[in-house]
A and B are shown apart, each in its own frame.
Chain A
Amino acid sequence: MSRWAAALIYAVLGAVTFVVCFPLLWAISTSLKPKDEIFRWPPTLIPETITFESYRELLFGGAVASAPGAGVPPSAYFMDWFVNSVIVSVGSTAISITVATLAAYSLTRFRFRGQRAVPYVAILGYMIPSVIFVFPMFLTMVALDLPDTLLSLILGYVCITLPFCLWLMWAFFRGVPIEIEEAALVDGATRLQVFRQIVLPVALPGIIAASIFSLIVSWNDYLFGRVFMNSMDKLPLTVGVMHFFDGTHVDWGLMMASSVLMTLPMAILFGFMQRHLVAGFGAGAVKG
């Protein structure tokens, strides 16, 4: 490739990257601006004065604004929401991954009727938009006496992440040759040892990929949180931050600072897991 062609390609890639990243840059920029600079015209991409006011309000507002009376600002709940989101994402992911891993393993290793159909039927659920089943599920939660609890959200997220995790893990286990397990059995390992020492390490990239998927879905969900949850202190982040918009006026500083703080955990996670993620989505390419 000539240097000119390379330069052209990099220029195009750079432009695309800029367009894709611009909203994020804008959010970071806005979150660091004092309130009077946010709406200034012409807008500034690099803030003239940098302030961490919005971040301070979100991160430490709960302690400051615990004064009695009706005037608790939504930002005081930010840390609650953050913790809630962590609990429901991690909780639902843990359940989804455990169930999906065991189910997928048995789907590839034990023979029974309809064995091959299960993963496909499971994935069919994604053809239905979640708005259609969120209300029946809410009614189920009511029947179980669970609405407005973090557990209801965890169960809800398990419902939407489990099928894909199952499918992914299934594709993964199919690529793990049964002979390596048989070799371990002949070597004298127990079934449990075979699963833990032979199968799980091979399946680890798949488990990581499925976990990241599940974490992202539950972390970013809005619909379930909006329908299932009610109390201010029990909301997940996505639903909570909507309170920075009170119907007439949006607190852009808080909104953007929240966005940045919400993006951060996922970005960090991605950074660490990127290598495994690529391996995971190449599932089935594992050879003994």
Chain B
Amino acid sequence: MTDVAIRGLSKSFGTNRVLKALDLTVPSRQFVTLLGPSGCGKTTLLRLIAGLEQPTEGEIRFGERRVDGLPPGERNIAMVFQSYALYPTMDVARNIGYGLEVRGTPKAERRERVGAVAKVLEILHLLGRKPRELSGGQRQRVALGRAMVRKPDIFLMDEPLSNLDAKLRAAMRGELRRFHLDLGTTTIYVTHDQLEAMTMSDLVVVMNEGVVQQIGTPEEVYARPANLFVAGFIGTPPMNLIPARNEGGRVTVEGHPLPVAAPAGAPAELILGIRPQDVSMATPGEPGTIPGKVWMVELIGSERLIEVEIAPKVRVTAEVRASHRAALDDAVAVRLDPAQIHLFDPASGQALPREAVREVGARPA
């Protein structure tokens, strides 16, 4: 029941400015993911929220309470570390109950609460073991139990699944989501894995180089990327980003007009973004298509990726059904779904308003 408000938060390590005047609001009871490439400052932000680092500037509030300046123990948060950070000399029961122990919770109550959490996490049989006697997945559960047992206001999780194998990771994604729905605790979850972010979150905060790039639901950051970084970062295979021009209100790519009108006031040079799923193969010469040569073909399970070179060094990837055959150097054409085209201003990197990107009737090329 606690929202987190971060205002103008900066953090520097020496001359390295890791977070740059960051603003972020995490609504109460939501599962919010900090998503960004490695080194973009996600962990630093989480540690600032936890109180393990002190901000250079700015403030952090939990609800009405200003917390920057408070030691971690007084913030009523729980954190799951990437390395799990279990206490090596304590058994699982004491690991989970340690937070209650130092807060003076009576032994009987402690045992009961540890037992309850262990039951939910299905680790009752492990309570007597030491961390070194546990598998990675079991350690992960103990770390989770340690966070859950204290009924904190906020859960902070730093890539908690990154040390698990792929199968376990997939299973744990669902479980974490389930626990969150049951407990309703505000959760800030750090990951560099967009699949985790997209499948688990209420809100995704896309970060790069210490700056928030976009905040939105998974659908929003996928369907309406705010800028070139988000467009290129979210989605696999990544969105095609190709140079385009605004010629008298009409969008062209390599001189081929597309059935799309540029918004009023759009610059002459544009970057056009389109996801491979929204690119289809066409016969050369069809109106509204862009001709080119097949440059590379890749089979990814039920789909096939066809990379088409439409000009020297300019390639568009189309994701088509695996049954679609294509040979290298075939003369082909690609059709871009006009409804799915994103336009960006190359100078600022910002997306042009989607509403303004209008579809116009195809005209013979």
Q: What A residues does B87 contact at CB under 8 A?
A: 180, 183-184, 198
CB distance B146 to A288 under 8 Å?
no
CB distance B81 to A188 under 8 Å?
no
* B181 vs chain A, min Cβ distance (A): 24
B54 interface hit (Cβ, 8 Å): no
A288-B89 Cα distance, complex, nearest whole Å: 9
25 A-B residue pairs with CB within 8 Å: A177-B83, A179-B83, A179-B85, A180-B86, A182-B50, A182-B79, A183-B79, A183-B81, A183-B85, A184-B87, A184-B102, A186-B50, A186-B79, A187-B98, A187-B99, A187-B146, A188-B99, A188-B103, A189-B98, A190-B73, A198-B87, A198-B89, A201-B90, A202-B88, A288-B131
B71 interface hit (Cβ, 8 Å): yes
CB distance B83 to A186 under 8 Å?
no
Q: What A residues does B335 contact at CB under 8 A?
A: none
With both beta carbons as reference points, the residue of chain A lying nearest to B78 in the complex is identified as: A186
A287 interface hit (Cβ, 8 Å): yes
A133-B178 Cα distance, complex, nearest whole Å: 68
Please give 11 more A-B residue pairs, beta carbons under 8 A apart, in addition to A180-B86, A188-B99. A179-B81, A180-B87, A182-B85, A183-B81, A183-B85, A184-B102, A186-B78, A188-B103, A189-B98, A204-B89, A288-B85
With both beta carbons as reference points, the residue of chain A lying nearest to B79 in the complex is identified as: A186
A193-B89 Cα distance, complex, nearest whole Å: 14
A177's partner among B85, B99, B132 (CB-CB below 8 A) is B85
B45 interface hit (Cβ, 8 Å): no
Q: What A residues does B73 contact at CB under 8 A?
A: 185-190
A186 with B98: in contact, given A288-B84, A288-B85 (CB under 8 Å)?
no
A184-B99 Cα distance, complex, nearest whole Å: 7
CB distance A185 to B72 under 8 Å?
yes
A184-B85 Cα distance, complex, nearest whole Å: 9
Q: Which of B230-255 contact A (CB under 8 A)?
A: none
A230-B102 Cα distance, complex, nearest whole Å: 53
With both beta carbons as reference points, the residue of chain A lying nearest to B103 in the complex is identified as: A188
Q: What B residues does A187 contact at CB under 8 A?
A: 73, 98-99, 102, 146, 150
B290 interface hit (Cβ, 8 Å): no
A residues in contact (CB < 8 Å) with B: 177, 179-180, 182-190, 193, 198, 201-202, 204, 286-288
A187-B149 Cα distance, complex, nearest whole Å: 11
Q: What A residues does B89 contact at CB under 8 A?
A: 198, 201-202, 204
CB distance B132 to A287 under 8 Å?
yes
The SS class assigned to the A binding surface is helix
A184-B73 Cα distance, complex, nearest whole Å: 8
Pairs of residues from A and B, 8 with the lowest C-beta to C-beta distance, nearest first = A179-B85, A187-B99, A188-B73, A201-B89, A183-B85, A186-B72, A189-B102, A185-B72
CB distance A180 to B88 under 8 Å?
yes
CB distance A286 to B88 under 8 Å?
yes
B52 interface hit (Cβ, 8 Å): yes
* B105 vs chain A, min Cβ distance (A): 10
A286-B89 Cα distance, complex, nearest whole Å: 11
A6-B318 Cα distance, complex, nearest whole Å: 68
B305 interface hit (Cβ, 8 Å): no
CB distance A182 to B52 under 8 Å?
yes
* B94 vs chain A, min Cβ distance (A): 10
B93 interface hit (Cβ, 8 Å): no
* A199 vs chain B, min Cβ distance (A): 10
With both beta carbons as reference points, the residue of chain B lying nearest to A182 in the complex is identified as: B52
A287-B90 Cα distance, complex, nearest whole Å: 14
* A180 vs chain B, min Cβ distance (A): 5
B77 interface hit (Cβ, 8 Å): yes
A182-B158 Cα distance, complex, nearest whole Å: 13
Q: What A residues does B98 contact at CB under 8 A?
A: 184, 187, 189
Q: What A residues does B72 contact at CB under 8 A?
A: 182, 185-186
* A248 vs chain B, min Cβ distance (A): 58
A198-B87 Cα distance, complex, nearest whole Å: 7
**Chain B 120-133 interface mask (CB, 8 Å, partner A; 1/0):** 00000000000110
A129-B77 Cα distance, complex, nearest whole Å: 55
Q: What B residues does A183 contact at CB under 8 A?
A: 79, 81, 85-87, 146
A190-B99 Cα distance, complex, nearest whole Å: 11
Q: What B residues does A185 contact at CB under 8 A?
A: 51-52, 71-73
* A87 vs chain B, min Cβ distance (A): 32
Q: What A residues does B131 contact at CB under 8 A?
A: 288
**Chain B 36-58 interface mask (CB, 8 Å, partner A; 1/0):** 00000000000000111000000
Q: What A residues does B150 contact at CB under 8 A?
A: 187
Q: What A residues does B77 contact at CB under 8 A?
A: 186
A182-B79 Cα distance, complex, nearest whole Å: 9
